[in-house]
Amino acid sequence: MTDPRYATAEEVAVVRERVAKMEGGHDNLRGDMQDLNRQFSDFRRDITHEVQENAIQTQQKISEMNDRSSQRDGEISERLARIEGGMKLTSWVTMTFIVLATGLLGWGQIGDAAWSFCKRAFGYGP
């Protein structure tokens, strides 16, 4: 077996220096990680806030669009109701004139037939 070798004071100082550097680097990494976590939390909070504001604005715009759409639907329904009423009136007037004209023509034919009958019956015509 070989005899154990002991480190010199210089070697121990070098090792201690390296360990101190590593510990310092570790502390720096820990600090950087904490900074990154804090920045990420701030970023997440800001993004969440912006998304919520955008959602509220979008809901307001959708509500406004629905209101405008409902108003337009009401206006269109009123116009269609007026058009329908006009069409019903036109149809009623047309049917009334057709019935009157048919009736007048029918009475005219009845009158002509009665006149012809009277002329023959009382000898006024051929």
DSSP E strands in 2-125: the ranges are none
What would the mean pLDDT of 74-93 be, rounded to a whole number?
A: 92
Which tens digits make up the pLDDT trace of 4-16? 878 788 888 888 8
- CB contact set of 124 (below 8 Å; sequence gap of 6+): 118
Assigned token pair, 63: 């509500």
Which tens digits make up the pLDDT trace of 30-40? 888 899 999 99
- Domain spans of the chain, in order of start: 9-90
pTM for the whole structure:
0.48
What is the C-alpha to C-alpha distance for residues 61 and 8, in angstroms, rounded to an integer? 78
Residue 67's Cα: distance from chain center in Å? Answer: 11
3-state secondary structure of 48: helix
